[in-house]
Amino acid sequence: MTVPIEAMYTKNRFPSGPSLFFLMLYTPLGIILFLLRIFISLQLFLAACVLPHNTLIRHVVLRVLYSVLGLVVREESVENRDTSCRIITTNHITPFDHLAVSIVLPCVTPSLYDLPGALSSLLCYRDLGVTRGREVLRANARAYLSNADCPPLLLHPEGATTSGNLALMKYGSWAFELNGTVLVAGVQVWRPPLLPLAPSVLGASWAADLCFMLFSPITLFTIRYIGTVKRKEGESADEFAVRVQATTASALKLTTSHHTVADKVEYMKRLAREAAAAANPMLSPEVHRMAQQVQEVLPHISIDQIKRDLVHTQNVDLTITNFLEGNVLEPVPDPPPLPLAPVNIPSAVPAASSAFSSAHKPSPSSSSSSSSSSPPASPQELKGTTGGAAASPSPSSSSSSSGASPKSFPLNTAAVSFGKSATERMASFEMRKAQLIENARRKFIEKHGLQVPGYNC
């Protein structure tokens, strides 16, 4: 059976029901106990700095001081304990599991933090280059294990904490590439049933877990020695990790899972997105998806306006109806106008357009000469009429008055300048349009060798 990742972690630190009432009664005493233990922890630090390492007196003093701080450790299946083993593996429940193990079995664990030497020694940390990559960690760990005078190396193959109540995360194989023999142990954490504060919750920092450990009357760590497990001949590191995981889960009466640290990180990100969407519904992925559907129908409305209405309606069709009928709190912008018929231009422009259109329309007396037709307005006259609009010479005037051949008609239709008003620009447009039509007409006549009265004959 696949264990859902949601069931492997504790989300709420505080209890519910009657236990919450006892917690409220205990809170004043817990605060006093917390302050006293803060001062005692300073003595713990001094004792760790003054007393020599790896001595019985230092071990006894530290165990007493840890007990005063509320961290109590007991051992089970001591007959399976092997002090000669150089690597110890345990499951991971709190950031202080290695402290509990180090109280009964001297060991160190790779440090994830940049701490001073004295504080690292107090907390049983050793800098092995975890932050510099796995290859650096492997090399430093092998160099550390080669020194027989150093204490054993404690590793948490899960890589992250769990609730410790249901299943183990997938063990990483890197921890089993260092040595062929490991001492397997299991960690269990207990607190009084009347004050069942979770020892660690999802997303909590080590500082928060430390504060609640000092606040709680007691935190009991049970170290169960499972025994020494050796790597079989021809067994890969991944297979060895799976076997150790199954052995640990069986001894702790838990199940195994295939969830990794990356899965936990993704799960925490998903919870953060859900929390943000709950605090601000406009950030919800579902609202964003529906808003895109509405904007496909009403593209002139902003996505934020659509989301604000969807937060209340939660329905695409109802939101579209609200915008179409104007039943929204914010003003809705008008949709962009559709393409309309050509705009009516001022009177000066039709005059210019008619002047150019009369140039290529034959008169009723087509048999008469072209000089008998009414002459169109010249460009100079048009310029005076339109207030200086740039235009090219009239094609009909150049052909009829000067008697030039059709091939001499200018092909350049670009405007000389850009009109300052809409009237000037529209007049220039109509003139260039007429010139383009005339050019096309001339090319067609020349291509097919047509004889057009009043034009070339």
Give the single-character DSSP code of 74: E
Alpha helices in 358-417 (DSSP H): 379-386, 395-400
Q: Does residue 212 sit in the same domain as residue 109?
A: yes
pLDDT higher at 324 or 212? 212
For residue 251, the tally of other CB atoms under 10 A from its CB is: 19
Please tell me the distance from the alpha carbon of residue 382 to that of residue 398, in angstroms, as a whole number: 15
pLDDT at 367: 38
Domain contains 178: yes
Please say if the pLDDT value at position 101 is more than 80. yes
Dihedral of alpha carbons 279, 285, 288, 293, sign: negative
Structural domain for 332, as ranges: 280-336
In a domain, 170, yes or no: yes
pLDDT number for residue 157: 92
Q: Which of 58, 37, 65 lies closest to 106 in space, CA to CA?
A: 58
Total residue count of the chain as it appears in this document: 457
**Residue with more model confidence, 234 or 415:** 234
Alpha carbons 263 and 445: distance in angstroms, whole number: 78
pLDDT of residue 456: 72
Quote the pLDDT of residue 406.
46
Same domain assignment for residues 61 and 138: yes
Q: Would 343 be classed as within a structural domain?
A: no
- Can you tell me the distance from the alpha carbon of 92 to that of 123, in angstroms, rounded to the nearest whole number? 16
- Percentages (nearest 5) of helix, strand, coil residues in the chain: 50, 10, 40
Is residue 61 located within the same domain as residue 134? Answer: yes
108 has which bridge partners? 153
Could you say which of 222, 248, 268 is where a domain stops? Answer: 268
Query: Distances in Å between the alpha carbon of 374 and those of 347, 359, 396?
Result: 20, 9, 11
| pLDDT at 117 (0 to 100) | 67
In the predicted structure, residue 48 carries a pLDDT above the cut 60: yes
- Mean pLDDT in residue range 434-446: 82
Domain co-membership, 146 together with 261: yes
Which amino acid appears at position 407 of this protein? K
Same-domain pairing of 352 and 417: yes
Whether 368 is covered by a domain: the verdict is no
Mean pLDDT to the nearest integer, 329-333 = 62
Number of domains in the chain: 3
pLDDT digits (tens, 9 = 90+) for 256-266: 999 999 999 99
Residue 168 CB partners (closer than 8 Å, separation 6+):
91, 158, 162, 245, 248, 249, 252, 254, 255, 256, 257
Closest CA to 85 of 202, 218, 219, 230: 230
Same domain, 287 and 227: no
Q: Using CA atoms, how far apart are residues 37 and 29, in angstroms rounded to an integer?
A: 12
Q: Residues 181-211: pLDDT tens digits?
A: 899 999 999 999 888 899 999 988 888 999 9
Query: Residue 290 belongs to a domain with what CATH number?
Result: 1.10.8.10
pLDDT tens-digit readout, 8-33: 999 889 888 888 889 999 999 999 99
Model pLDDT, residue 400:
40
- Inform me whether the pLDDT recorded for 98 exceeds 70: yes
214-255 pLDDT tens trace: 999 999 999 999 999 999 888 898 999 999 999 999 999 999
Per-residue confidence band for 447, with pLDDT thresholds at 50, 70 and 90: confident
Q: Binning pLDDT at 50, 70 and 90, where does residue 410 land?
A: low
How many whole angstroms separate alpha carbon 58 and alpha carbon 47? 8
More confident residue, 91 or 421: 91
Closest C-alpha among 80, 143, 81, 84 to residue 110: 143
* Final residue of a structural domain among 217, 248, 268: 268
Summarised one tens digit per residue, pLDDT across range 141-182 is 888 888 888 889 999 999 899 998 999 999 988 888 888 889
- Whether residue 83 is predicted with pLDDT greater than 60 in this model: the reply is yes
DSSP states of 128-146: --GGG-HHHHHHHHHHHHT
d(CA 397, CA 379): 9
Same domain? 210 vs 315 = no
The residue-averaged pLDDT of 309-331 equals 81
Mean pLDDT, rounded, for 427-448: 82
Q: Band of the pLDDT at 329, cuts 50, 70, 90? A: low
Indicate whether 262 and 311 sit together in one domain.
no
Burial class of residue 116 in the structure, from the number of CB atoms within 10 Å of its CB (0-12 exposed, 13-18 middle, 19+ buried): exposed
Identify the pLDDT of residue 377: 43
Residue 366 maps to a domain: no
Q: Is residue 367 part of a domain?
A: no
Poorest-pLDDT segment among 130-134, 304-308, 367-371, 422-426? 367-371
> Following CA atoms 225, 227, 228, 230 in sequence, which dihedral angle do they give, to the nearest 10 degrees?
-130
Element (H, E) at 190: strand 181-190
Judge whether 274 lies within some domain: no
Please write the tens of the pLDDT for every residue from 121-142: 777 888 888 878 888 888 888 8
Same domain, residue pair 292 and 238: no
Residue 287 has pLDDT above 70, yes or no: yes
Pair type for strands 71-76 and 219-230: parallel
Q: Does 305 share its domain with 395?
A: no
pLDDT at 397 over 50: no
Q: How high is the pLDDT of residue 211? A: 92
Considering the domain architecture, whether residues 73 and 190 belong to the same structural domain is answered as yes
**pLDDT > 70? residue 392:** no
CB 91 within 8 A of CB 164: yes
Q: Who wins on pLDDT, 319 or 329?
A: 319
Banded pLDDT at 91 (limits 50, 70, 90): very high
Looking at 245, 268, 291, the residue that finishes a domain is 268
Burial class of residue 410, CB neighbours in 10 A (0-12, 13-18, 19+): exposed
Residue at 10 is within a domain:
yes
Residue 40 shares a structural domain with residue 175: yes
Mean of the per-residue pLDDT values for the chain?
A: 78
Higher pLDDT: 177 or 330? It is 177
